[in-house]
A and B are shown apart, each in its own frame.
Chain A
Amino acid sequence: MIDWPLVSVIIFLPLIGALIILFIKEDELTSINIKWAALLATLGTFILSLILWLQFDYSNPSYQYEEKFKWFDDFNFFYHVGVDGISLFMILLSTFLTPLCILASWNNIKKRVKEYMLSFLFLETVMIGMFASIDILLFYIFFEAVLIPMYLIIGIWGGNRRIYASFKFFLYTLLGSVLMLIAIIVMYRNTSSMSIEFLQGNYFSYNTQLFLWLAFFASFAVKIPMWPFHTWLPDAHVEAPTAGSVILAGVLLKMGGYGFIRFSLGMLPEATEFFIPLIMTLSIVAIVYTSLVALAQTDIKKLIAYSSVAHMGIVTIGIFLVNQQGLEGAMMQMISHGLVSAALFLCVGVIYDRMHTREIEFYGGLVQRMPLYATVFMIFMLGSVGLPGTSGFIGEFLVIVGAFKFSSYVVIGAAFGIILSAVYMLYLYKRIIFGTITNNKLADILDINTREKIILIPLAISVILLGIFPNLFLDPMRLSLELIITNYEIANAK
């Protein structure tokens, strides 16, 4: 095992990069240095996080690489971080996507490069910190601190309605998370512990659990987002710059799913059992409704944003099935959605950088001029639809298999959503890529350049890798998920 604080280094390396950037004076010449510093810091973080995966002990369901220091003298609050099978891939997703985001913003962010890179590096630190924390207070601090850089990224570098979108994003998610703060304090008062590891079990009375569950639900349902709390998402996605949308879809939405698994399932099993019908109903409504809404969109980003809500509906179904297939499927769907939707937003960014519009009407026949682009876009589009051989298939398949154990109505709803997702994605692809070029402005559009290849090809490879070798990802998380399911079943068997 590793005898140096690997997890802390991964958490704080981006922040150190940010501190270095803070002291680089920004002007025309040095902005390239700022970009390189940011890229190196994030790449270094990614390489270190790969060590986490390589050295990971598959036979250990609980936390590994633990670090624990007393943080507050008066209460049992610790600086306690570690990685288990559930958080491992969330951390990898964050560290993988952030350098790609930096690369994606290389040329199209022209104003305030320094603040931009600072925001992204700070964002990476808090994202990783959130997934790695084992102390709930630490988790909460990172969870809420995510809002600050994201608010700035949407508000400063966003589109026309960026101010509306940034305020909506901030206040909506803040409202959810402050209720979680109350719940956290109540939990602490009842158990005198803030350790996520310790609280995995059934420590609260039934009525307390119901209230706590609702408070956590307020926070995570907004974050993931579930219908009807999803309205901030299309606005935030559409107005955010490309890299902002990538992080938002790729990582921030996963915070909700991660929270459901850790807190709702892990700590409040009896209340979860009570609320499962609610979650299933909301998820199926989300899948069907947002898929139909996505079908009617004229803005590419908005379409992908609504498709995100639908895909996260599959995730919530998978989580609250609380069986092996369901949870594994939900985790796979989260990872897959993190890669695919991030890649789709990057693809939209490619043509947006060239044409400065996201209207579907504007495009058509891109395959004539951009064959390589059409190919990678197709891989991601099929990944989003869930074609066998891509990552999307594994997640959706496992969730549906798990859902058969629960109720066939849920299966029908989920399957219907998957069919709809094929409809809107293929329809989108047909309108943008196929056909002949009707718009003269597209006549000399260029295919993807080297930088864009460097961004998109690793994503395409990982989407296919995930689809062909799912066990590469499922094996490390299996025991950790089993632990949660066992705890859950013991609590509800009583």
Chain B
Amino acid sequence: MEGKIIVVTSGKGGVGKTTATSCIGAALALEGNRVAIVDMDIGLRNLDVVMGLENRIVFNIVDVVQGRCKVEQAAIRDRRIENLFLIPASQSDNKDVLTTAGVERVAKQLRSQFDFIIMDSPAGIERGFENSVVSADDALVICTPDVSAVRDADRVIGLLYARSLTPKLIVNRIEPARVVRGEMLSHEDVLEVLSIDLVGLVPMDEKVLISSNTGTPLVLQKDSKAGTAFRQIARRLNGESDLPVEMPVYKTSMWHKISKTFGLKQ
């Protein structure tokens, strides 16, 4: 059976694309799939450090596309999660080094070797973005609940539609307490503005930074809220499309309940 290529995009940088890619890839592997994560951010590679595989790089995606090595030689096997592989970006080349034709050729090989191929697109909508989406079967758009991320997400969604892809949205770094206080857009607000299907909601979680500090997979930490949310997203992508999306909730305190009773808070 042919594997599926899922591109992870956002438009704006710094919204959690790399974290999302590594978590979703790892979680799909935990579900029993053979998964390749491909870092398409040529010149600014990061997935290797986030995944803790930076010391094992020999070849990269540019080497594969330019025919200097085989897919099997560039794919680094994760020793903690079975069937999880990373094909890192090149750090020395620039973004224009890849051609869409070259990427499409490699995509074909990847499809024959893996169940899922997760492509981490670079920020922006230039050449690197084109290369990441050219062979995608599905697209995920990540955004955080702030005006700049949502606006850029809208632009990217438009570009994906123009390529006949129907993207699904992940709202990242939700802080329910701030939503309740009226300081942050809720996921409903974001969905209404973008009018797109939702695939998952990820709460703000301090453990994300901690796990990237040490390069350990977040999805293996059972007490991580974000890790749990990403595992749910992976299950939805793996065919459990009717798995309900869990809303991040604000745990109300005693004082909150009392003031709510008196009509002081909503």
* A-B interaction: no
Residues of B within 8 A of A (CB): none
